[in-house]
Amino acid sequence: MAGSFKGDGLIFTLMDRITFMDIHPLLEKSSRDHAHLCPRQILGVRLGLMGLTALGFVEPPPGKRLLVILETDGCFADGVIAATNCTVGHRTLRVEDYGKTAAVFIDTLTGVAVRVAPVLNLRERASLYTLDEPRPYFAQMQSYQSMPGEQMFTVLPVGLRTSVEALVSRPGLRVNCARCGEEIMNEREILRDGLVLCRSCAGESYYHAEQEPVTSRQEPQKERSS
Ligand SMILES: [Zn+2]
Ligand SMILES: [Zn+2]
């Protein structure tokens, strides 16, 4: 089922099955919670379908087989979610915020991973594809729905710096941080000098405390009437 890789995996052919596919249900799904449809959602839908195709899927695989790592959030992300059914809630979607409308698609069964990104001159290509629409925004809206995927994206096989097993991790495991005491799930703890630490206490925190922790005051014990 996995992609049609040849030889060392660097050369592979892509059948853009989605060129003739009706993407409107996916666009409707993407824009449902958005109150608007925009070029970035369409781009996300198309890129999501391209990622599926590159891994050899004709539709989103069941369960947690597909893991998608998005390189930005926003409207683009909603398009990819609509196309792949991968979500943060299902632990099948991650965001590594590089501010890029690109994503890596990982078949967790085979370990095959591909990065799909827009071609560098996508906007120019889009404006050439819809010549009767001079307004770039609307030209993109139209072109992104009809351009062949191969003209929109580059697809590159990639290796992951973190193993698929570590990325997926074992859900349900729980330990407590030796410093702050908070619970850490899914093997996200860090072992340092023999201590189990959360990422914050290990110095990787994305925030710093502005004041001492505020804990809820304990309810005074009600006196029991005997
Ligand atoms: Zn938008
Ligand atoms: Zn901690």
214 CA distance to ligand 2 middle (Å)? 16
Q: Kindly identify the ligand whose nearest atom is closest to the C-alpha of 27.
A: 1
Q: Kindly identify the ligand whose nearest atom is closest to the C-alpha of 39.
A: 1
pLDDT tens, residue by residue, 174-207: 999 999 999 999 999 999 999 999 999 999 899 9
Task: Tell me the HSE value of 183 on the side-chain side, using a 13 A CA sphere.
Answer: 5
| Residues in the chain, overall count | 226
pLDDT of residue 16: 47
pLDDT-derived band at 213, boundaries 50, 70, 90? confident
pLDDT of residue 216: 61
Residue 59 has pLDDT above 60, yes or no: yes
6 CA distance to ligand 2 middle (Å)? 46
pLDDT of residue 11: 33
Chain-centre distance of CA 79, in angstroms?
10
16 CA distance to ligand 1 middle (Å)? 25
Q: Which helix (H) or strand (E) holds 196?
A: strand 195-197
pLDDT-derived band at 30, boundaries 50, 70, 90? confident
Mean of per-residue pLDDT scores for the chain: 87
Structure tokens at 65: 């087989």
Sorted by where each starts, the structural domains of the chain and their CATH numbers stand as 8-166 (3.30.1330.130), 169-204 (3.30.60)
112 CA distance to ligand 1 middle (Å)? 31
225 CA distance to ligand 1 middle (Å)? 62
pLDDT-derived band at 29, boundaries 50, 70, 90? confident
pLDDT of residue 218: 58
Ion ligand 1 neighbours (CB, 5 A) are 38, 75
Q: Kindly identify the ligand whose nearest atom is closest to the C-alpha of 189.
A: 2
pLDDT tens, residue by residue, 31-42: 887 778 999 999
pLDDT of residue 7: 35
pLDDT of residue 34: 77
Residue 10 has pLDDT above 60, yes or no: no
Return the closest-CA partner of residue 108 out of 173, 49, 76, 62.
62
215 CA distance to ligand 2 middle (Å)? 16
| Sign of the torsion angle spanned by Cα atoms 143, 148, 154, 156 | positive
pLDDT-derived band at 221, boundaries 50, 70, 90? low
